[in-house]
Amino acid sequence: MDIRKKIGLRIKEYRTNLQLTQEALAFKAEIDKTYVNEVENGKRNISVINLEKLIFALEISLREFFNSEAFDGGLTK
Amino acid sequence: MDIRKKIGLRIKEYRTNLQLTQEALAFKAEIDKTYVNEVENGKRNISVINLEKLIFALEISLREFFNSEAFDGGLTK
């Protein structure tokens, strides 16, 4: 699976666990809500600065975010 | 410390452990060598697709790459 999709799914997973809407997450992360929607749908090649903003708005660390089997494998084609 | 610097330092750490030059890593990752230099020096807000390319050229997973205290904390200002 494409890295953008993996990241999008993981963000959505944490966001829904926090019972946040995309709009609420976008506000918290100081990022545009359309952008958040596109990231969650694997449509955005997000940069590390924006990724960090989103992840911290989800109240987790980068270490925890990537600590998943989804990010174990080699290069995704 | 800025996320770009943290990522740059981590890439350099793995690259030197593999005794690869920046040029060799750039070639392996199919990325421009100047770009690799700038990423290692914290100058680039790298995207996840390029980050994945570099990390896999270092023969590790994203999960391993971010499994470091450097990526434990909250938002870096």
Which structural domains are found in chain A, ordered by start? 3-67 (1.10.260.40)
pLDDT band, residue A74 (cuts 50/70/90) = low
Q: Report whether A35 contacts A42 (CB < 8 A).
A: no
Q: Which residue has the tokens 């590390």?
A: A48
The string of pLDDT tens digits covering residues B23-75 is 999 999 999 999 999 999 999 999 999 999 999 999 999 999 999 999 997 66
Give CA–CA dist A16/B71, Å, rounded.
23
The pLDDT of residue B73 is 78
Nearest-CB residue to A66 (from B45, B66, B69) = B66
**In this model, does residue A75 exceed pLDDT 80?**
no
The pLDDT of residue A73 is 78
Quick check: B66 and A68 CB within 8 A? no
Judged by CB atoms within 8 Å, which residues 30-69 of A form the interface with B?
A: 45-49, 51-53, 56, 61-63, 65-69
Across A31-43, average pLDDT = 98
Q: Which residue has the tokens 């990390």?
A: B55
ipTM: 0.92
Sign (positive or negative) of CA dihedral A59, A63, A67, A71:
positive
Q: Report whether B39 contacts B5 (CB < 8 A).
A: no
Q: In angstroms, what separates the C-alpha of B15 from chain A's closest C-alpha?
A: 17
